[in-house]
């Protein structure tokens, strides 16, 4: 059942990513990594629903989404990018996407990081970050979503792959996408869960490389 919820706050996370905080209805529940369909409560846009992942935790007072804005698409995210505090979004029930299956390696491409945000926040809150590793691919350093938070939570197990520029910080530069050789150099155990989320070509490449390197297909968790 859809609910129309007021925006309580909007913050810039990067140059093209916003954090949207919404009021949370009584009894609304979800698991870390889950998503919902969201539409803008404006004429002509109420039926234009798009999936977004919760970045807040179920026990938090409000709902939170971290959303990349694509002005060039002339679509829902552009509309969301123009919203202000007090405007409203239409939110459906939560549904399952990526869920945590145990300690492993997370591979994210760009805005594909969003399902992992709540998972890592939940693990951190429980003191169960353990030896989980995040390999995060972005075009440039300014595109890295929540860089400081991931560095704080994961330390040396947070690895950035910057594909389109020579980075100034402590990152790994790749001339193009993460390849099989890179994964082999960064991962010493392929008998563990792998979590993959990003654009379609990123997901397909990662799944192929991981299988080629001996990962168990049943241990690959990805957005279908």
Instruction: Kindly report, residue by residue over 181-195, the tens digit of the pLDDT.
Output: 999 999 999 999 999
**Residues 9, 23: contact at Cβ < 8 Å?**
no
Q: Are both 127 and 60 inside the same structural domain?
A: no
Per-residue model confidence (pLDDT) at position 224 = 59
Question: How far apart (Å, rounded) are the C-alpha atoms in residues 219 and 202?
Answer: 18
Per-residue model confidence (pLDDT) at position 72 = 80
Q: Please determine, for residue 110, whether its predicted confidence score (pLDDT) is greater than 90.
A: yes
Question: How far apart (Å, rounded) are the C-alpha atoms in residues 67 and 18?
Answer: 5
Q: What tokens does 40 get? A: 């803008």
Per-residue model confidence (pLDDT) at position 162 = 86
The number of folded domains in the chain is 2
CATH of the domain at 121: 3.40.50.80
Q: Please determine, for residue 128, whether its predicted confidence score (pLDDT) is greater than 70.
A: yes
- Give per-residue pLDDT as tens, 141-180: 899 999 999 999 999 999 988 888 776 666 566 666 689 9
100 domain residue, yes or no: no
Q: Are both 116 and 216 inside the same structural domain?
A: yes
DSSP structure string for the chain: --EEEEEEEEEEEETTEEEEEE---TT----TT-EEEEEESSTTTTT--EEEEB-S-TTSSSEEEEEE--GGG-SHHHHHHT--TT-EEEEEEEE------SS-EEEEEGGGGHHHHHHHHHHHHHT--TT-EEEEEESSGGG-TTHHHHHHHHGGGEEEEE-SS--SSS-EE-SSS--HHHHHHH-S--SS-EEEESSHHHHHHHHHHHHHTT--GGGEEE--
Mean pLDDT of the chain: 92
Domain final residue pick, 54, 71, 95: 95
CATH of the domain at 81: 2.40.30.10
Domain final residue pick, 95, 127, 144: 95
Q: Are both 11 and 74 inside the same structural domain?
A: yes
User: What range does the domain containing 85 cover?
Assistant: 3-95
Q: Are both 199 and 109 inside the same structural domain?
A: yes
Q: Please determine, for residue 79, whether its predicted confidence score (pLDDT) is greater than 90.
A: yes
At 86, is the pLDDT very low, low, confident or very high (cuts 50, 70, 90)?
A: very high
Mean pLDDT of 57-86: 94
Q: pTM of the prediction?
A: 0.93
144 domain residue, yes or no: yes
Q: Are both 88 and 114 inside the same structural domain?
A: no
Q: Please determine, for residue 74, whether its predicted confidence score (pLDDT) is greater than 90.
A: no
Q: Are both 117 and 173 inside the same structural domain?
A: yes
Question: How far apart (Å, rounded) are the C-alpha atoms in residues 55 and 223?
Answer: 16
Per-residue model confidence (pLDDT) at position 157 = 94
Closest CA to 134 of 148, 121, 151, 118: 151
177 domain residue, yes or no: yes
- Give per-residue pLDDT as tens, 10-46: 999 999 999 999 999 999 999 999 999 999 999 999 9
């Amino acid at each position: 059942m859809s609910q129309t919820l007021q925006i309580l706050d909007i913050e810039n996370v990067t140059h093209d990513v916003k954090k949207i905080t919404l009021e949370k209805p009584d009894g609304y529940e979800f698991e870390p990594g889950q998503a919902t369909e969201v539409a803008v409560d404006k004429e002509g846009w109420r039926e234009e629903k798009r999936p977004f992942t919760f970045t807040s935790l179920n026990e938090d007072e409000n709902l939170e989404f971290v959303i990349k804005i694509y002005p060039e698409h002339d679509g829902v995210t552009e509309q969301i990018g123009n919203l202000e505090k007090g405007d409203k979004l239409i939110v459906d029930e939560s549904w399952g996407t990526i869920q945590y299956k145990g300690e492993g390696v997370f591979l994210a491409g760009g805005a594909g990081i969003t399902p992992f945000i709540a998972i890592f926040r939940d693990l951190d809150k429980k003191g169960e970050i353990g030896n989980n590793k995040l390999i995060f691919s972005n075009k440039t350093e300014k595109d890295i979503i929540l860089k400081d938070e991931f560095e704080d939570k994961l330390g040396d197990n947070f690895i950035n792959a910057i594909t389109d520029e020579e980075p100034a910080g402590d990152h790994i530069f790749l001339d193009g996408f993460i390849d099989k050789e890179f994964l082999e150099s960064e991962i010493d155990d392929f008998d563990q869960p792998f979590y993959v989320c990003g654009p379609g070509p990123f997901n397909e490449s990662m799944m192929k490389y991981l299988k080629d390197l001996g990962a168990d297909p049943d241990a690959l968790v990805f957005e279908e």
